Amino acid sequence: MKVKNWSDNYTSCSESMAGNGGVMRITDLLDKRSVMLGAAPSDKKQTLEQAVALMAKSGKIADEEAYKRQVFAREEESTTGIGEGIAIPHGKCDAVTKPGLAAMVIPNGVDFESLDDEPVTLLFLIAAPNTKDNVHLDVLSKLSVMLMDEEFTAKLRAAKSVDEFMQIVDDADSEKAGIDERLKTDEGKVSKILAVTSCPTGIAHTYMAAEGLEKAASKAGCTIKIETRGSGGAKNVLTNQEIADADCIIVAADAKVPMERFDGKHVIQCQVSDGISKADELIERALKQDAPIFKAGNHTEETVQSKGKKDGFAHRIYMQLMNGVSHMLPFVVGGGILIAIAFLIDGQSVDINLLSAAERANFGTITPAAAFFKGIGDVAFGLMLPVLAGFIAEAIADRPGLALGFVGGMIAANGKSGFLGALAAGFLAGYVILLLKKICDKLPESLEKLAPVLFYPVFGILIMGAAMNFVVEPVMGAINTGLNSGLASMSGTSKVLLGFILGAMMSVDMGGPFNKAAYVFGTASIVAGNYDIMAAVMIGGMVPPCAIALATIIFKDKFTKEERQSGPVNFIMGLAFITEGAIPYAASDPLHVLPACIIGAGISGALSEVFNCTLMAPHGGIFVFPVVGNALMYLVALVIGTTVSTVLLGLFKKKIA
């Protein structure tokens, strides 16, 4: 075999593309230094470690450990051993500076927990950067499809040198069109079978499943149109007319797929790996129309989830919770900033030392301009908890859950339960709708059609109202009363202990009974002339958002991209005594965020008492520091508590894959 002399020097993708007429090739991503032909790892873990080390040799990884964690995290979701002796592990993260490939031929094979339980003898590792430029995705998807060609993989396993290995890849790349390009050639044909393929990363399995289904359909003598939903977006999208004409639709996906468009059609739902390993069976079922009729109204999620170990009950709860948190975040940020502006305007416009107690209580609405911003900010904040509850319910029960969640969240926002009540309302609303759906399924067809527009909202909202008013609110109210009584009994004991407890309570539920009890106790103390208690309360509420803002900057790998982008805004909210800015972070990871915030806030509250700090205003944060007694040490207490919480967040929170 004539072998091209592949240069040992790393060539950037852009340079290689220029040399290839602007078209990226697989060998542009596969560096010669990242190919090993005689690998002999002892197990799966060592295999992945060796592959990552090979990838690092190409210079495309800025942080090898971070990339390795991502590769192992992806493997935990489901095995990338696709069968037939092939594995395609992959990792997409900020640690990757340039897209790349690493390859291993393992002559004696290694146990990789593959779908067919066969040992892996050929492995390609993919490294994808977190960038908007997805030119490399088409190349990676093409390689994934090529690996389903037995003749091609046999040649790779038999390669005698790295140069020969590279030449085999390059020759096959020239001969074979990409999956999306081939699928486009079928446009204009009437396809009675349609399919959608998608995987969480959208790099390899999406296109391998499409290739498998295309081959199986060709073997069965039928046409098929396949929509691929990869990292580069949806391609070959199914039209409404094609869906209407189809006999059956196969959805092979482990990631979000819009499902409502398939209402009334025979739909087979399965994992993306089934599209690779069970394609013939899926096509046979589709031809026989051996699939249930899909009803969009009865579909609880617009997602086909993987049946792997990550799809457990706890994972579903987490995803439902995150749906509420992500929709709530804009209300927290927008409303919080506007309220902070209102405090700033009043702080610059009036001398707070000259205000009466009643006027101080209205700080933020004293001047017309401040009142304008405060009014809008309060409206946004008023929607925060209903939106949280509504979209938790929507993730559980689809659109019918929204109304119930909004109502429950509004009751919590206007009552005593606050943040914790809204969480309870969201999950309760979702499962109430699921219960009503089961009941309505038994109704005659004529009445069943009325369920979404009549039965769900009427009976659902009635049940939610009753549950919130007779169960959630009374329980939270009793907790609130008990906490107030307990705090009152402590007012004559250790000031330091009381300061710690008050500061900590402000961070426990951030708007719920603990937070409200501490705040009410602080404001009542102002009336009684005990100004040190309100100082401990306010500083305890300032620490959580300030600490989270600082942690998103220092410990970037502990937060999602969205959390990092919104993090610095919490400095403004924290300094303005708007504790709610921390709610999205606490809701998404309560077991790690809340303890860190509680400890730091408690320390600040205790230090406020130690330094004999006082406060005669019930709100305002840094904007009322002119009336704080011993303001310098009050700031020191805030810095110390914030630092403690920030360090604990870095220790407690797990790294984000």
Handedness of CA 501, 503, 504, 507 (dihedral sign): positive
The residues, ordered by sequence, that sit 6+ positions from 397 with a Cβ below 8 Å of its Cβ are 300, 429, 430, 431, 433, 434, 437
3-state SS, 453-495, equals HHHHHHHHHHHHHHHHHHHHHHHHHHHHHHHHHHHHHHCCCCH
Highest mean pLDDT among 119-133, 147-161, 505-519: 147-161
3-state SS, 596-626, equals HHHHHHHHHHHHHHHCCCECCCCCCHHHHHH
Quote the pLDDT of residue 24. Answer: 66
Structure confidence by residue, pLDDT tens digits, 443-458: 777 776 778 888 889 9
Of 125-134, 193-202, 391-400, 402-411, the poorest mean pLDDT is in: 125-134
Going along the chain from its start, the domains and CATH numbers come out as: 13-176 (3.40.930.10), 180-308 (3.40.50.2300), 314-652 (no CATH)
For residue 172, name the pLDDT band (cuts at 50, 70, 90): confident
Beta-bridge mates of residue 100: 127
The string of DSSP codes covering 300-354 is S-SB----SGGGSHHHHHHHHHHHHHHHHHHHHHHHHHHHHHHHHHHHHHS-GGG
Of 8-22, 93-107, 321-335, 478-492, the poorest mean pLDDT is in: 8-22
Give ∠ CA 345-351-356 in degrees, rounded to 5.
110
Residue 631: pLDDT above 60? yes
Q: Give the closest residue to 477 by CA, choosing from 523, 512, 525.
A: 512
Quote the pLDDT of residue 594. Answer: 92
Q: Which of 90, 136, 205, 619 is catalytic?
A: 90
Quote the CA–CA distance of 248 and 614 in Å, as a whole number. Answer: 71
Is 330 buried (19+), middle (13-18) or exposed (0-12) by CB count in 10 A? Answer: middle
For residue 205, name the pLDDT band (cuts at 50, 70, 90): confident
Structure confidence by residue, pLDDT tens digits, 7-44: 443 334 433 443 344 456 788 888 889 999 988 998 99
Quote the CA–CA distance of 328 and 517 in Å, as a whole number. Answer: 24
Quote the pLDDT of residue 191. Answer: 53
DSSP 529: T
For tokens 């919590």, what's the residue? 412
Quote the pLDDT of residue 188. Answer: 47
Beta-bridge mates of residue 119: none
Reading phi first (left if > 0) and then psi (alpha if -120 to 50, else beta), residue 258 is in beta
Distances from the Cα of 112 to the Cα of 41, 45, 84, 86, 215, angstroms = 11, 9, 12, 9, 26
DSSP 238: P
Quote the CA–CA distance of 618 and 60 in Å, as a whole number. Answer: 54
For tokens 């009643």, what's the residue? 358
Quote the pLDDT of residue 459. Answer: 92
Own/partner contacts of 135-139, CB < 8 Å, gap of 24 or more, are 135/13, 135/17, 135/24, 136/13, 136/24, 136/29, 136/99, 137/202, 137/203, 137/230, 137/231, 137/232, 138/24, 138/178, 138/180, 138/232, 139/24, 139/25, 139/26, 139/28, 139/29, 139/99
What is the Cα 356 distance to its own chain's centre?
A: 47
Q: Which of 13, 93, 136, 199 is catalytic?
A: 199
Please count the other Cβ atoms lying within 10 Å of the Cβ belonging to residue 531.
Answer: 18
Both tokens assigned to 160: 């005698």
Quote the pLDDT of residue 403. Answer: 92
For tokens 């405090």, what's the residue? 343
Q: Give the closest residue to 160 by CA, choosing from 39, 38, 41.
A: 38
Beta-bridge mates of residue 93: 129
Of 21-25, 82-86, 213-217, 337-341, the poorest mean pLDDT is in: 21-25
Is 527 buried (19+), middle (13-18) or exposed (0-12) by CB count in 10 A? Answer: exposed
Quote the pLDDT of residue 656. Answer: 75
Structure confidence by residue, pLDDT tens digits, 509-557: 776 678 877 887 887 677 566 778 889 999 999 999 999 999 999 998 8
What beta strand segments (E) does 94-144 contain?
Answer: 100-110, 120-129
The average confidence (pLDDT) of the chain is: 81
Quote the pLDDT of residue 30. Answer: 86
Both tokens assigned to 95: 């640690």
Q: What is the mean pLDDT of residues 201-227?
A: 80
- Per the annotation, the verdict on 90 as an active-site residue is yes
On whether the CB atoms of residues 379 and 413 are closer than 8 A, the answer is no
For residue 386, name the pLDDT band (cuts at 50, 70, 90): very high
On whether the CB atoms of residues 638 and 546 are closer than 8 A, the answer is yes
Give the helix/strand (H/E) hosting 394. Answer: helix 368-397
Q: What are phi and psi of 449, to 5 degrees?
A: -65, -20
Quote the pLDDT of residue 407. Answer: 95
Please count the other Cβ atoms lying within 10 Å of the Cβ belonging to residue 302.
Answer: 15
Quote the pLDDT of residue 204. Answer: 65
Structure confidence by residue, pLDDT tens digits, 585-594: 888 888 899 9
Structure confidence by residue, pLDDT tens digits, 67-93: 998 888 888 877 888 788 898 888 888
Quote the pLDDT of residue 606. Answer: 94
Quote the CA–CA distance of 370 and 341 in Å, as a whole number. Answer: 7
Quote the pLDDT of residue 203. Answer: 60
Quote the CA–CA distance of 437 and 320 in Å, as a whole number. Answer: 19
Quote the CA–CA distance of 249 and 503 in Å, as a whole number. Answer: 57
Structure confidence by residue, pLDDT tens digits, 238-247: 888 888 888 8
Quote the CA–CA distance of 305 and 268 in Å, as a whole number. Answer: 13
CA atoms within 13 A on the CB side of 156: 26
Quote the pLDDT of residue 389. Answer: 92
The residues, ordered by sequence, that sit 6+ positions from 610 with a Cβ below 8 Å of its Cβ are 496, 499, 637
Quote the pLDDT of residue 426. Answer: 92
For residue 303, name the pLDDT band (cuts at 50, 70, 90): very low
Of the chain, the end-to-end C-alpha distance in Å amounts to: 43
Beta-bridge mates of residue 91: 127
Residue 308: pLDDT above 50? no
Quote the CA–CA distance of 153 and 165 in Å, as a whole number. Answer: 10
Both tokens assigned to 264: 């009334």
Q: What is the mean pLDDT of residues 178-198?
A: 62
